[in-house]
Amino acid sequence: MLGLMQDWPLLIHRIIDQAARQHGSQEVVTRSVEGPIERITYREVHMRALKVAQRLVQDGIKPGDRIATMAWNTARHLEAWYGITGAGAVYHTINPRLFPEQIAWIANHAEDRMIMTDLTFVPLCEALADKMPTVERYIVLTDKAHMPATKLKNAISYEEWIGSVDGDFRWLSLDENSAAGLCYTSGTTGNPKGVLYSHRSNVLHSMAASGVDALAIGSRTTILPIVPLFHANSWSIAFSAPMMGAKLVMPGAKLDGASVYELLSDEKVTCTAGVPTVWLMLLQYMQKEGKKLPHLKRLVIGGSAAPRAMIEAFEKTYGIEVLHAWGMTEMSPLGSLGSLKASVDQLQGAALYDLKIKQGYTPFTVEMKITDDSGKELPWDGKTFGSLKVAGPAVAKAYFRVDENILDDQGFFDTGDVATIDANGYMQITDRSKDVIKSGGEWISSIELENLAVGHPDVMEAAVIGIAHPKWDERPLLVVVPKEGREISRENVLEFMQGKIAKWWMPDDVQVVKEIPHTATGKINKVTLREQFKGYRLPG
């Protein structure tokens, strides 16, 4: 027997419809690429998205066609997404921080028909245009007054482009399982792989992400997504904020500590989200200038493990709750969040921060397990390491145009992370499977060593890699970047770490460098780091 409820497909355009109807006067604030702060309402975003969809259809775009965006977090980028999906097409976010060869490769692999780009990236598009033959037109996200002279194919300013239509358009009727978005993994080894989101997966994921024990987004929230739209749906904020009617503050291209602080302060932001490197810059700026953020209640950290020292500084010094989160492109991306359950709500002091450095527990719509190399499920005891695997309606089951089975026999996706899960369900990433250090048959967590090292008052950033050892197979090498104006030594760092970890976990050496390489998504690039120290020999 089937239920007798309406067939109401979960389509992305319903999100912006709801925002316009129920929260039409709510603001979307943008630090524009051109410079000024611009303000628009959800009602206006909705109308402009309809114009995008209308113009795409007028230009011959068909359902399933890929439209690339290479842009910062702005209102124009946001409305373009809703317009693209409302026309039945697929938004394909291109990370401009990738190597140019990778950008051309993924544009060709996706067979993008158009590229919508910010002014910042016009020179990059010009350099790559001959290598992207499927692209028929370039739309520059600006107005006619700021439109640069360019030889890009059929180039036009965004405002001129949508200005030719009236917005009298009905969203296309689609199956909720239709493709909606395409995002490629950063691909530190081999070619990037495309993750193809559906309307249904994005809507379900955004509902889960909005929950009170997740990002806690509501109509009284003011949220600033530092995480870019080209990083897996900006962790769902591009959908969750309009869905719930939150005020949205878009930072544009300026992500330094002073610029981020200015928006957080001036717009009275209550929640923000981004990777640790951005929060390090903000923290250093606030410490240097003696500033605080009285309106900011919650700061979400993901992308890579958040150092304990950073979490404690924001919470103890500035009264800002830090929410540790974890996920990946293949998960849309949120997989776990570190909200406090009733069972751990009484924790205080060191015990509380022992929990907060973990990546948290899964919201509804995500299932999780850890297994050994044979696929046997391992216990949730907080000690046993295993391969982390996930399943759910917003988890990839295959890569775009790749003939490869990526699920195990039970339908779980192997994340490539090594983790523990405790009795309360809190998961902690101990390493990427390719980065874990195997010393004498035992595992050493590079992430735990890095977080400990960053707690040193003179260390700005740290990375740990395994170096070949004739007896123990591998031993850890700690690479550190000192804070500006500070000096650090091997002995000083090792003395700081002494007694805080098992003796056999202690790094065999410390190397001080000016900078540590990062991937296009802001994570430490250990492939490059290992290449950098390829010929290095441990002391003794």
Catalytic residue numbers read: 185, 330, 438, 443
Q: How many other β-carbons are positioned within 10 Å of the β-carbon of residue 289?
A: 11
- Structure token pair of residue 419: 């983790």
Beta bridge partners of 431: 418
Contact 329, 232 (CB under 8 A): yes
Give burial (CB, 10 Å; 0-12/13-18/19+) of 484: exposed
Question: Do 416 and 430 form a contact (C-beta atoms < 8 A)?
Answer: no
CA of residue 241 relative to chain centroid, distance? 16
With H, G, I as helix, E, B as strand and everything else as coil, classify residue 252: strand
Per-residue 3-state assignment (H helix, E strand, C coil) for 131-182: HCCCCCEEEECCCHHHCCCCCCCCCEEHHHHHHCCCCCCCCCCCCCCCEEEE
Q: On the CB side of 3, how many CA atoms lie within 13 Å of its CA?
A: 3
Three-class SS string for 333-388?
CEEEECCCCHHHCCCCHHHHHHHHCCCEECCCCCEEEEECCCCCECCCCCCCCEEE
In DSSP notation, 4-41 reads --------THHHHHHHHHHSTT-EEEEE-TTSSEEEEE
Between strands 247-250 and 271-274, the pairing is unpaired
Cα–Cα distances in angstroms (integers) from residue 473 to residues 18, 367, 531, 536, in the given order: 58, 35, 18, 15
φ/ψ bin of 466: left (φ > 0), alpha (ψ from -120 to 50), beta (otherwise):
beta
* Residue 424, helix vs strand vs coil: coil
Both tokens of 277, joined, read 């490197």
Tell me how far apart the 2 most distant CA atoms of the chain are, in Å: 75
Q: What is the DSSP string of 59-84?
A: TT--TT-EEEEE--B-HHHHHHHHHH
The Cα 2–Cα 9 span in angstroms is 17
CA angle 163, 168, 173 (to 5 degrees): 120
Closest CA to 386 of 448, 441, 436: 436
The β-bridge relationship of strands 114-117 and 27-31 is unpaired
User: Based on the number of CB atoms within 10 Å of its own CB, is 388 exposed (0-12), middle (13-18) or buried (19 or more)?
Assistant: buried
List all residues 6 or more positions away from 31 whose beta carbon is below 8 Å from its beta carbon.
37, 250, 251, 252, 253, 254, 259, 263
144-151 own/partner pairs: CB under 8 Å, 24+ apart: 146/34, 146/119, 148/119, 148/122, 150/122, 150/126, 151/126
Closest to 262 in 3D by CA, of 40, 26, 29, 522: 29
